[in-house]
Amino acid sequence: MTTTLITGANKGLGFETARRLVAAGHTVYVGARDPERGRRAAERLGARFVRLDVTDDASVEAAAKTVEAEGGLDVLINNAGIETRTEDNGVPVAETVTADQMRTTFETNVFGVVRVLHAFLPLLQRSAAPVVVNVSSGLGSLTHLSDPDHPAHFYPGIAYPTSKAAVNMLTVQYAKAFPGMRINSVEPGFTKTDLNGNTGTQTVEEGAEIIVRMAQVAPDGPTGGYFDAEGPLPW
């Protein structure tokens, strides 16, 4: 039985990914900051709940101890993420973005990934087929954002794409450091979720496709890569 932990799994892409992996036979931990929402989501899914706030060391360490005591971990999906939004659902642009906004975004999207990896790597190293999926974004591609012919070029925000570019670098470096693991970044696409004020053009079912696929990658599958549903993406 494959045991999987998904951060930020009480709604959106995390919830749909959990649903699909439970259906595929995984034992799934729904990681969520809010105990009530997390437990409710886990009950709906037939999953397990573990309280996990990726911005809090003690919370992450306690979650790791819980998962370890209940049998260990095979797959980690770093899904929790935020995008700073203005009151009119816009994003802070170059003229307005502040260091505090950047710091808040990085605390969840980047430092949160490192915090969770640091706590759960010992468990993953005991697995026969350890997998890490870092949920990134197409906005983390320097190639696409610097290409005036690519749609992503026109995204004006600073904090979110910068954080996801950093996640991609984490993927590369962790994959080199742990060649026995399959560690990859994925781009779900512009999915309708609370993160973007539900302005996305894809359903969560469509967005979760690549996350679910890479969560089930074989031991001889790719590692250190960056993928969407169509295949590899340029950094």
Q: Cβ distance 18 to 80 under 8 Å?
A: no
Burial class from Cβ neighbours inside 10 Å (0-12, 13-18, 19+) for residue 223 reads buried
Cβ of 55: how many Cβ atoms within 10 Å?
15
Catalytic residue among 29, 65, 155, 160: 160
Catalytic residue among 29, 155, 164, 226: 164
The DSSP symbol for 141 reads: -
Active site residue 164: yes
Helix (H) or strand (E) holding 111: helix 111-125
Residues 6 or more apart in contact with residue 90 via CB below 8 angstroms: none
Longest dimension (CA), the chain: 51
The catalytic residues are: 160, 164
